[in-house]
Amino acid sequence: MREIAPGLWHWTAMHPRIGHEVSSYYLLAERVAIDPLLPAEGTAWFLERDAPVQHVVLTNRHHDRDAWKLREAFGCEVHCVREGVHELTERGPVTAFEFGDQLPGGIAAYEVDAICPDECALHIPAHRALAVADGVVRWPGVKGLSFVPDSLMDDPEATKAGLRYAYRRLLTLDFDLLLLAHGAPVTSDGKRALADFIGA
């Protein structure tokens, strides 16, 4: 567990289905977890800080990860954009939100789409951060940001164009940290890194 900014924690854990490490985040004061797999310390980490999770917010439906274990431990609410809820309701109760809604922790949800209909970006003004799902990643040992492999896109060129368009619109937001679901976060000049990546 690493505090990458005051009150904003990041950790990685091995995803059992895809076989590589993914990133998760916790807004400590706000009691909001984003795309969480449990840390190595399990739920004890949150209890030791007297900070049980109250809300889990997903950047897309595929990132529910250990949301249900946290719900079982703490009774927290799981939030997913309405376009992705259909795939989660058999796993547990889900609170649907719309693009543009204000979420717990002062988070604002923005539509990315392109790669899947429920692809979100979460703007977190209190931490000057932007959390993204699968549209942009950072592979270990590779310098800079990347798209996911073409094999994971139905129409790679159209998808990349759609992602560039969506992220270009998000550059109007105030953020410095770029929180990636796949790869280490960019902890300074995240907006510049995203702008450079999409050629803005």
Quick: pLDDT tens for 120-160: 999 999 999 999 999 999 988 778 899 988 888 889 999 99
**128 vs 11, 14, 41, 88, 162, CA distance in Å?**
18, 27, 27, 29, 24
Listed by start position, the domains of the chain span 2-102+109-198
Look at residue 48 and tell me whether its pLDDT is greater than 90.
yes
If you classify domain 2-102+109-198 with CATH, what class do you get?
alpha beta
Quick: pLDDT tens for 10-24: 999 988 777 689 999
* Euclidean distance between CA atoms 119 and 84, whole angstroms: 9
- At residue 104, the pLDDT reads 98
Q: Average pLDDT, whole number, for the chain?
A: 95
Per-residue tokens: 142:
């590779």
Mean predicted confidence (pLDDT) in 69-92:
96
- At residue 112, the pLDDT reads 96
- At residue 28, the pLDDT reads 98
Look at residue 9 and tell me whether its pLDDT is greater than 90.
yes
* Euclidean distance between CA atoms 21 and 9, whole angstroms: 16
Look at residue 97 and tell me whether its pLDDT is greater than 80.
yes
- At residue 16, the pLDDT reads 77
Quick: pLDDT tens for 158-174: 999 999 999 999 999 99
Per-residue tokens: 25:
């985040």
Look at residue 190 and tell me whether its pLDDT is greater than 90.
yes
- At residue 109, the pLDDT reads 97
Which strand (E) or helix (H) includes residue 81?
strand 77-81
- At residue 121, the pLDDT reads 98
- At residue 20, the pLDDT reads 84
Query: Shortest CA distance to 178 belongs to which of 196, 191, 160, 197?
Result: 191
CA angle at residue 127 from 96 to 52, to 5 degrees? 60
Confidence of residue 67 (pLDDT cuts 50, 70, 90): very high
Calculate Rg over the CA atoms of the chain: 16
CA angle at residue 46 from 5 to 135, to 5 degrees? 55
* Euclidean distance between CA atoms 177 and 189, whole angstroms: 7
* Euclidean distance between CA atoms 162 and 167, whole angstroms: 9
Look at residue 100 and tell me whether its pLDDT is greater than 80.
yes
